[in-house]
Amino acid sequence: MSLIIKNGNIVTATDNYIADIFIEAETIVAIGKNLAMKADKVIDATGKLIFPGGIDPHVHLSMPFMGTYSSDTYETGTRAALYGGTTMLIDFILQKQGNSLHDALAEWQSRSNDNCVGDYSFHMAVTDFNENTRKEIKDFIEREGITSFKTFMAYKGALMIDDRQMVGLMEEVKKHGGLINVHATNGDMIDYLVQKNKEEGNLAPLYHYLSQPEVTEAEASERFVDMINYTGCPGYIVHLTCEGALNAVRNATKRNQKVFVETCIQYLLLDASLYEKNFEGAKWVMSPPLREKKDQATLWAGINQGLVNVVATDHCPFMWEQKLMGKDDFSKIPNGHPAVENRMELLYSEGVAKNKITLNKYVEVACTNPAKIFGMFPRKGTIAIGSDADIVIFDPNEKHTISVNTHHMNVDYSGYEGWELTGKVKTVILRGTIAIDNNECLIDKGFGKFIKRNKVAQTI
Ligand code: DUC
Ligand code: ZN
Ligand code: ZN
């Protein structure tokens, strides 16, 4: 099967030009003006933008968490991502404390194998680092193609590891060419503030926000940055939300340290005033919480300064009925919000169309940097000869409105209901096959492949 996309405006992290793209089977084999090859199918992309398939390196599908499971399955979550122009996801395996990493991998494979519509990979979350776990790291990197290890400095009593385990894990991961990603908030401080608020009868969603002040994230980010500087292990801070935490990274650059930073679309666009809506605020209960307008400004600037490298989602949806588990106690509201389908269109509309970031920067943070940092470039994350033909054809002028009534995520509300956007995903190609066209999904579960990743980048 061959495919030619004609006259599209190709945008990569560095280039912006009009050309044709010729695809054979799963791969881009030629790019040029007026290509003469005959293809089985021709797509006229005149007037459209052509992006590499989006990569969201931070999602939680069918994840057991806070007494329930996130509501998107591997099928619904990867399909919704494709509708929104994201062709590849990286999900998180969670080790159960006391069990092995390989046990957790087998459990996650039992839910994901043959169920994904789009491509995917895993980070391995280490919640119990000990002499047995240490021996498993090499195998994950060299045999399983899982080269990034998640750590939690919060969720005390469930997922959190202490600094002793953190440093030991960093040394082992560094030795084998992997990377540590971190949820960097101070778990002990948060635990104290949650208990204090509950004892004082402060039980509304607003107190979720007030129990995780900026300092809890700034302190943990600085500690993490110091630990990776000491060990020399590549490090990536997930879902960074605020000025204090970004300042810790900025300070590290003064000693020429590279720290990879991800923010999520919600921290660029939404703020903590949403927690004042009584229990409706539960829709945006996530950790870390939404912050202030000044933090949004810091994050947009951080993208342009090259300090923030990736815009992801931390997609972790829960049905409204699940959110009601915390009706009388904010600490029981499952943490997370849905966004995987909206990320690319929101970032275009609010970022590119409103002149906050350039088109090249858009591709860099949504597609290219995730591929580079997590060991998939140039197979994924760009439009180049030899790359997988993961391609988004995008109408930069079409206007549309986000709604629960039209989204494809398995969740019964939208965090962005009624938002009017400029720019829409029209066609999505995954490894040379048309996956989405005119709001219809043309591939089935099982099409999505597990992508084995290479050892990671030290810098980008
Ligand atoms: N934060 C969330 O809001 N949900 C899942 C895990 C996390 O760290
Ligand atoms: Zn997290
Ligand atoms: Zn997460």
Predicted local distance difference test score (pLDDT) of residue 254: 97
Ligand 1 atom with the smallest distance to the CA of 334 is 4
Residues 247, 274, single domain; the answer is yes
Q: Say how many Å lie between the CA of residue 184 and the centre of ligand 2.
A: 8
Residues 148, 213, single domain; the answer is yes
Report residues whose beta carbon is within 6 angstroms of any ligand 1 atom: 60, 183, 286-287, 314, 316, 335-336
Residues 44, 82, single domain; the answer is no
Whether residue 459 is predicted with pLDDT greater than 90 in this model: the reply is no
Residues 33, 92, single domain; the answer is no
Residues 145, 86, single domain; the answer is yes
Whether residue 456 is predicted with pLDDT greater than 90 in this model: the reply is no
- The DSSP line for 139-158 is HIIIII---EEEEES-STTT
406 occurs within a structural domain = no
CATH code at position 15: 2.30.40.10
Q: Say how many Å lie between the CA of residue 314 and the centre of ligand 1.
A: 7
458 confidence band (pLDDT: 50, 70, 90) = confident
369 confidence band (pLDDT: 50, 70, 90) = very high
| pLDDT tens digits, one per residue of 161-173 | 999 999 999 999 9
Tokens of 55: 């990569």
Whether residue 335 is predicted with pLDDT greater than 80 in this model: the reply is yes
Residue 367 near residue 381, CB atoms below 8 Å:
yes
Q: Say how many Å lie between the CA of residue 302 and the centre of ligand 1.
A: 22
Using DSSP bridges, classify how beta strands 54-59 and 86-94 pair: parallel, antiparallel or unpaired.
Answer: parallel
Q: Which of 161, 335, 340 to mutate to test the pocket of ligand 1 (most atoms within 8 A of CB)?
A: 335
295 occurs within a structural domain = yes
Nearest CA to ligand 1 atom 8: 287
Structural domain containing residue 322: 53-373
**Which burial class, exposed, middle or buried, applies to 416 when counting CB atoms under 10 A from its CB (0-12, 13-18, 19+)?**
buried
285 occurs within a structural domain = yes
458 occurs within a structural domain = no
Residues in CB range of 351: below 8 A, 6 or more apart: 268, 300, 357, 361, 362
Q: What is the C-alpha separation between 120 and 78, in angstroms, rounded? A: 8
Residues 165, 311, single domain; the answer is yes
Q: Say how many Å lie between the CA of residue 337 and the centre of ligand 1.
A: 8
Q: Say how many Å lie between the CA of residue 61 and the centre of ligand 3.
A: 10
**Total domain count for the chain?**
2
Residues 44, 116, single domain; the answer is no
Ligand 1 atom with the smallest distance to the CA of 238 is 8
Q: Say how many Å lie between the CA of residue 329 and the centre of ligand 3.
A: 22
Predicted local distance difference test score (pLDDT) of residue 345: 99
Ligand 1 atom with the smallest distance to the CA of 286 is 3
157 confidence band (pLDDT: 50, 70, 90) = confident
Q: Give me the mean pLDDT over the 384-408 stretch.
A: 98
The bound ligand whose nearest atom lies closest to the alpha carbon of 313 is 3
Q: Say how many Å lie between the CA of residue 155 and the centre of ligand 2.
A: 9
CATH code at position 226: 3.20.20.140
Ligand 1 atom with the smallest distance to the CA of 154 is 8
Residues 74, 216, single domain; the answer is yes
Q: What is the mean pLDDT of the chain?
A: 98
H or E stretch at 20: strand 16-24
Nearest CA to ligand 1 atom 7: 287
Q: Give me the mean pLDDT over the 390-407 stretch.
A: 98
| pLDDT tens digits, one per residue of 205-247 | 999 999 999 999 999 999 999 999 999 999 999 999 999 999 9
For 183, 233, 242, 299, 347, the CA distances from 218, given in Å and listed in that order, are 12, 20, 8, 14, 25
Q: Say how many Å lie between the CA of residue 28 and the centre of ligand 2.
A: 35
Query: Taking the CA of residue 277 as centre, how many other CA atoms within 13 Å lie in the half-sphere pointing to its CB?
Result: 10
Predicted local distance difference test score (pLDDT) of residue 416: 98
Q: What is the C-alpha separation between 269 and 227, in angstroms, rounded? A: 31
Ligand 1 atom with the smallest distance to the CA of 65 is 5
Whether residue 328 is predicted with pLDDT greater than 80 in this model: the reply is yes
With H, G, I as helix, E, B as strand and everything else as coil, classify residue 10.
strand
Predicted local distance difference test score (pLDDT) of residue 270: 98
Q: What is the C-alpha separation between 374 and 91, in angstroms, rounded? A: 12
Predicted local distance difference test score (pLDDT) of residue 460: 82
Ligand 1 atom with the smallest distance to the CA of 183 is 8
330 occurs within a structural domain = yes
401 occurs within a structural domain = no
Residues 158, 68, single domain; the answer is yes
Residues 153, 301, single domain; the answer is yes
Amino acid at 2: S
| pLDDT tens digits, one per residue of 56-112 | 999 999 999 999 999 999 999 999 999 999 999 999 999 999 999 999 999 999 999
Residues 67, 24, single domain; the answer is no
146 confidence band (pLDDT: 50, 70, 90) = very high
Residue with tokens 């069990």: 99
Percentage of the chain beyond pLDDT 70 is 100
Residues 193, 94, single domain; the answer is yes
Q: Which of 159, 316, 340 to mutate to test the pocket of ligand 1 (most atoms within 8 A of CB)?
A: 316
Whether residue 44 is predicted with pLDDT greater than 80 in this model: the reply is yes
280 occurs within a structural domain = yes
Of 81, 65, 56, which Cα lies nearest the Cα of 409? 81
453 occurs within a structural domain = no
457 confidence band (pLDDT: 50, 70, 90) = confident
The bound ligand whose nearest atom lies closest to the alpha carbon of 334 is 1
Q: Which of 59, 60, 209, 337 to mutate to test the pocket of ligand 1 (most atoms within 8 A of CB)?
A: 60
Q: Which of 93, 161, 287, 291 to mutate to test the pocket of ligand 1 (most atoms within 8 A of CB)?
A: 287
Q: Say how many Å lie between the CA of residue 188 and the centre of ligand 1.
A: 17
Residue 234 near residue 180, CB atoms below 8 Å:
yes
Q: Say how many Å lie between the CA of residue 58 and the centre of ligand 3.
A: 6
